[in-house]
Amino acid sequence: MKTILKLEGVSLSYHTKDGEIPALKNISFEVKSGEFVSVIGPSGCGKTSVLSLIAGLIKPDEGKIIFNGKEVKKPDKAIGYMLQRDELFPWRTIEQNVFLPLEINKNKDEKRKKEALDLLDKYGLKDFKKSYPNQLSGGMRQRAALIRTLSTSPDLLLLDEPFSALDYQTRLAVCDDVYSIIKNENKTAILVTHDVSEAIATSDKIIALTKRPSTILGVHVTETNKSLSPLKRREEQIFGKTFELIWRELNDEN
Amino acid sequence: MKTNDKISEKQMIYLKKNKRNKFFVNLSRLLIALIFFGIWEIAADVGIIDSFLMSSPSRIIKTIKDLVVSGDLYVHVFTTLYETLSGFLLATVVGTAVALAMWWSENFRKIIEPYIIILNGLPKIALGPIIIVWFGNGMNSIIFMAFLTAVIVTTITMINGFLACENGKIMLLKSMGAKKIQILTKLVIPSSLPTFISCLKINVGMAWIGSIIGEYLASKQGIGYLIVYGGQVFKLDLVMASTVILCVFAGVMYFLISLSEKTLLKKY
């Protein structure tokens, strides 16, 4: 499979009045097309910074980020970003929310509008197109947010703890839901999470970061059965073993 | 959410209780006004209070009737309404525009902030003599006074509203490749609509203060003029009648904005 994203020796520092805070140090990894990759690590370690860098929202101090063979310098519409909260605009209907990226990119034509509406139909939001976000449940809102991200047909999805604002029950269900949509649409995804089990349940590959300044602690290729849903994978024997391995690795380091 | 169309007994009791409570509140409101004016009227009739100094509801009504008959009322009311609305609109437009500029450029905001704070603390009436010298003894001065009273509050309220826009949503738009102008039009302005409405509510009050103060200082007509004139010639009936008229108009304007608030902010 072809490599879609490549980080080469990426370092990043934040500048504040009180001094310079090194966040990432010499981060290198690759993501192949169609892969589901998780980035895990202790809170405040700069996981979100990794996504911001890939999304082109901030620039690295050193190193390069190559996406689809080109260096990332600014936000690219082939990369979709999904945040912790759904961030749906309350004054727009679900349909208008989903059209938002098209309006921003000034390519809201009939064909793209139809594609976006088809996604809403396909993933159970058919009757809610004209509803406002506050009429939807947390899980449905997160699904609407995902479809908004998909409306520009991105090649790569960046998921920044997209389930952490939900309660545990909903969280497991929405995780399955989002995962199946991503797989169904054949998208490549990078998930940032502090939840080790969530990472194992969803991912082909897990990148563990150390605490700040973060370097790569280890890369794990999971051996879970990829034909199962994330929830079902949690019941596999290999799930427990992988969890223990990564858990120990993270704890030994800290 | 309604689960079925049949209303249970408990729900009926609840609704009834709600209705009764609403009735009680409205009745109490009405009673307060009736008792207040009733006692005032009786006290004036019996001679407990001097109706020359305190006026009375019946004298107020008679004064208003006279004003209506002579046609003076329309001139005065129109003058003050015109001044207040002009000042209100000017202040809303200019104040919001300055707030937008402050949102757009962080440095502009930092530079201008101390001046705004000083102007906010300054009692606007202190500028009265200067305004009269600059804008003359007439309507322009009063409109400017109304404008000045409302504009600083508008700026402060609106910039706070703009800055309260959630960071997550800004980041989302940036990740879509949005330009600053798109962040402004797609997110910051629509999300500040509730702030804008509450700002309008404050502004109505402010503009009334400004126009009445303005009329106290320099005017030949208007409700504020009637109050000052009535005070100078000891016609307390006129002072009280003007105050009542003022109350009615301030109330109506506030009510109109509240009404627009209900329709505009349904989704928020």
- Nearest-by-Cβ selection for A91 from B172, B173, B190: B190
Q: What is the fold, at CATH topology level, of the domain defined by B59-264?
A: MetI-like fold (1.10.3720)
Nearest-Cα residue of chain A relative to residue B182: A104
- Nearest-by-Cβ selection for A90 from B171, B174, B268: B268
- Nearest-by-Cβ selection for A91 from B168, B182, B268: B268
H runs (alpha helix) in B55-185? 57-70, 72-104, 106-121, 128-135, 139-163, 167-175, 180-182
- Nearest-by-Cβ selection for B177 from A75, A89, A158: A75
Q: pLDDT tens across A25-54, in order?
A: 999 999 999 999 999 988 878 888 999 999
Helix (H, G, I), strand (E, B) or coil at B70: helix
Label residues A110-132 b or e (16+ Cβ within 10 Å = b).
eebbeebbebbeebebeebeeeb
- Any idea which residue has 């300055």 for tokens? B98
Q: What are phi and psi of A21, to 5 degrees?
A: -115, 110
Put simply, the answer to whether B186 touches A84 (Cβ < 8 Å) is: no
Alpha-carbon distance of A198 to A175, in angstroms, equals 8
Interface check A90 vs B, CB under 8 A: yes
Put simply, the answer to whether B268 touches A104 (Cβ < 8 Å) is: no
Q: How confident is the model at residue B93 (pLDDT cuts 50, 70, 90)?
A: very high
CB contacts of B168 in chain A (<8 Å) are: 83-85, 87
pLDDT at A7 over 50: yes
- Nearest-by-Cβ selection for A81 from B175, B186, B268: B175
Interface check B268 vs A, CB under 8 A: yes
- Nearest-by-Cβ selection for B172 from A74, A81, A103: A81
Q: pLDDT tens across B149-172, in order?
A: 999 999 999 999 999 998 999 999
Q: How confident is the model at residue A244 (pLDDT cuts 50, 70, 90)?
A: confident
CA distance A64 to chain B (A): 19
Put simply, the answer to whether A89 touches B187 (Cβ < 8 Å) is: yes
Interface check A152 vs B, CB under 8 A: yes
The residue that leads in pLDDT, A252 or A191, is A191
- Any idea which residue has 């009542």 for tokens? B244
pLDDT > 90 fraction of chain B, expressed in percent and rounded: 78
Q: pLDDT tens across B103-126, in order?
A: 999 999 999 999 999 999 999 889
**Are B260 and B114 in contact, with CB atoms under 8 Å apart?**
no
Instruction: Kindly state the tokens that stand for B76.
Output: 């005065």
- Any idea which residue has 């249970």 for tokens? B8
- Any idea which residue has 């910074």 for tokens? A49
CA distance B169 to chain A (A): 6
Instruction: Kindly state the tokens that stand for B49.
Output: 């209070």
pLDDT at B250 over 90: no
What ipTM was reported for this prediction?
Answer: 0.87
Put simply, the answer to whether B166 touches A103 (Cβ < 8 Å) is: no
Put simply, the answer to whether B175 touches A152 (Cβ < 8 Å) is: no
The pLDDT of residue A91 is: 92
Q: Report CA B5 to chain centroid distance, whole Å.
A: 42
Instruction: Kindly state the tokens that stand for B219.
Output: 């005017």
The pLDDT of residue B2 is: 46
- Nearest-by-Cβ selection for A87 from B168, B193, B268: B168
**Are B99 and B155 in contact, with CB atoms under 8 Å apart?**
yes
Q: What are phi and psi of B252, to 5 degrees?
A: -60, -45
The pLDDT of residue B1 is: 45
**Are B192 and B165 in contact, with CB atoms under 8 Å apart?**
yes
CB contacts of B175 in chain A (<8 Å) are: 55, 57, 75, 79-81, 158
Annotated domain spans of chain A: 85-153
**Are A60 and A12 in contact, with CB atoms under 8 Å apart?**
yes
- Closest among B143, B133, B185, B139 to B162, alpha carbons compared: B185
Interface check B235 vs A, CB under 8 A: no
Most A CBs within 10 Å, among B171, B176, B189, B195, to test the A interface: B176
Q: How confident is the model at residue B4 (pLDDT cuts 50, 70, 90)?
A: low
Q: Give the count of beta carbons closer than 10 Å to the beta carbon of residue B61.
A: 13
Q: How confident is the model at residue A254 (pLDDT cuts 50, 70, 90)?
A: low
Q: pLDDT tens across A94-129, in order?
A: 999 999 999 998 888 888 999 899 999 988 888 999
Instruction: Kindly state the tokens that stand for B87.
Output: 């000042």
Put simply, the answer to whether A83 touches B171 (Cβ < 8 Å) is: yes
Alpha-carbon distance of B138 to B214, in angstroms, equals 9
Put simply, the answer to whether B187 touches A81 (Cβ < 8 Å) is: no
Whole-angstrom CA distances from B223 to B186, B249, B263 are 43, 11, 32
pLDDT at B129 over 70: yes
Reported residue count of chain A is 254
Annotated domain spans of chain B: 9-49, 59-264
Give A48's Cβ-side CA count (13 Å radius): 11
The pLDDT of residue A191 is: 94
Q: What are phi and psi of B235, to 5 degrees?
A: -100, 85
Q: How confident is the model at residue B44 (pLDDT cuts 50, 70, 90)?
A: very high
Across chain A, mean pLDDT equals 89
The pLDDT of residue A107 is: 84
Interface size between A and B, measured as CB pairs under 8 A = 54
Interface check B178 vs A, CB under 8 A: yes
CB contacts of B166 in chain A (<8 Å) are: 87
Do you find a cis peptide bond into B123, omega within 30 degrees of 0?
A: no
Alpha-carbon distance of B84 to B79, in angstroms, equals 9
